[in-house]
A and B are shown apart, each in its own frame.
Chain A
């Protein structure tokens, strides 16, 4: 991991309160990023915001020195981030955490289950899986039609189901409803989203091997402050989400 300054190339709103930011970085750095890893972003200079924000990586294009992050405005820090303009410099710790271990897996069909702002890392993951010759099925849940992003990008990579909590687009309900209704076969599943969703997935897909990416309020983001932890399977100790995760085997953590 290192500290690096990225140049904002482009920033655009892609859904309700949801922004895509394309960052220019040396390609040597961009190449290192694995699906599921994150960048730890300093939202402003000065001392008003003392904590960085962990933001997941939605795409990388090493040939163009580009790294794409997607974030949702939840509070003052992310609002400040949304105000960045092209050519602004952004201070990052990169790459952070461990990604989905797809290089070590033998698989032919992957199920990707994403919820809301948990969808972005699955996009980069889907691209890498397809490049490996893996069939990808994506089940993506959003609150409303206004929250949906990257539908077409996923459709280009595999069969994609969209579900909204209020039924304003696609089927009404949760990603777990889609998994109940559709007969989706897979060797492994990969999921990222709010903890209640991950818990439901962990339960529903208990007979499948899978990997989940966890979200938590972080301090240092490098494993030194013990702010973001999750109990291991027998609850005898804690993993650090920023350093040991954010991706874990679904069977090794208790949500």
Chain B
């Protein structure tokens, strides 16, 4: 049984990785298990300068899911390169850096800064953060803008670029095709869906930001559907995510067309989830008649 997957810039020993924003820069989870076990890590989004993020409350639980509106709090790309990445280099672990911004220039500048580090294996271009006022998701909802930011980031990046798609669109296939034509090496999907919860006692939106991004098992069928559709329309690989909590979920994402699978919200419920999924994957793939991960990719079509 081979769990290995080869993707642009990424030689993965297995297809499981923590999703950006749910795992910080790895340090906290490294107290639970050896991070070298992971296929890769998608680190928390970087912006050009330090960002403090939104007011609290920033999270709310919902049925089989959660809303978050962190607002891209991060210490800025230089501090990430100098203070966070060195810790991760002790592990046998490809690092996928998540790049965010308010303007195309900011996306370019963050990517340029990351190109100065030898420790980044790939970039996840975050054009789909729903929780910031400027930029973020607007680049992910208009095909021409999505293509433009992809082209500009590709031009300054020295590693493959995976564009993270927003599900908050009418036609995700159109966006996927636009960024593929603009030179994206791969896609990661899906980011969170915008949602809201109203506090019945205060009779006001619960989150300080009012709106937040919905993640967790509640969104999994949407992620599966979108990956299934996009897989048929593009020829670049997809890293799938959205509500994975079990090894059967992982295989469902592979069947839909994902080449690797990221785990987000489930880390909060069970800090060992990625490690456990990796342990269980080979037996479960065999159970469904597969000899390797690669055999299962896209088999649902």
Give residues in A with beta carbon < 8 Å to B.
1-3, 42, 47-52, 77, 93, 216-231, 237-238, 243
Taking a contact as CB atoms under 8 Å apart, the answer to whether B66 and A50 are in contact is yes
Please give, as numbers and ranges, the residues of chain B lying within 8 Å of A221 by CB-CB distance.
Answer: 268
Contact between B66 and A220 (Cβ–Cβ < 8 Å)? no
Residues on A with C-beta less than 8 A from B68 are: 219, 225, 227
Taking a contact as CB atoms under 8 Å apart, the answer to whether A238 and B52 are in contact is yes
The number of residues on chain B lying at the interface, defined by a beta carbon within 8 Å of a beta carbon of chain A, is 36
Contact B64 A237 (CB under 8 A): no
B interface, by DSSP: helix, strand, loop or mixed?
loop
Which one of B27-35, B177-185, B255-263 contacts A? Answer: B27-35
Task: Answer whether residue B125 sits at the interface, using C-beta atoms and an 8 A cutoff.
Answer: no
A3 touches B32 (CB 8 A): yes
Q: Nearest CB to that of A220 among chain B residues?
A: B268
Given A238-B52, A238-B53, also A220-B267 (CB < 8 A): yes
B105 in contact (CB, < 8 A) = no
Residues of B244-301 contacting chain A, CB below 8 A: 245, 265-272
Q: How many A-B residue pairs have CB under 8 A?
A: 101
Most buried by A among B65, B265, B269: B269
From B28, B58, B70, B266, A222 is in contact (CB under 8 Å) with B28
C-alpha gap A73/B222 in the complex (Å): 33
Check B61 for interface membership: any CB of A closer than 8 A. Answer: yes
Are B267 and A216 within 8 A (Cβ)?
no
Question: Top 3 A-B pairs ranked by shortest CB distance?
Answer: A224-B24, A227-B59, A224-B28
B202 CB-CB contact with A under 8 Å: no
B39 within 8 A of A: no
Which of A3, A222, A238 counts the most B-chain CB atoms under 10 A from its CB? A222
* In the bound complex, CA of A51 to CA of B62 (Å): 9
Chain A residue nearest to B59 in the complex (CB) = A227
**Between-chain CB contacts (< 8 Å), 13 pairs:** A1-B31, A42-B269, A42-B270, A50-B216, A50-B268, A51-B269, A217-B60, A218-B59, A220-B22, A220-B268, A225-B68, A226-B58, A227-B68
Q: B56 an interface residue at 8 Å Cβ cutoff?
A: yes
Chain B residues, CB < 8 A from A49: 61, 269
Measured CB to CB, the nearest residue on chain A to B31 is A1
A residues less than 8 Å from B269 (CB atoms): 42, 47, 49-52
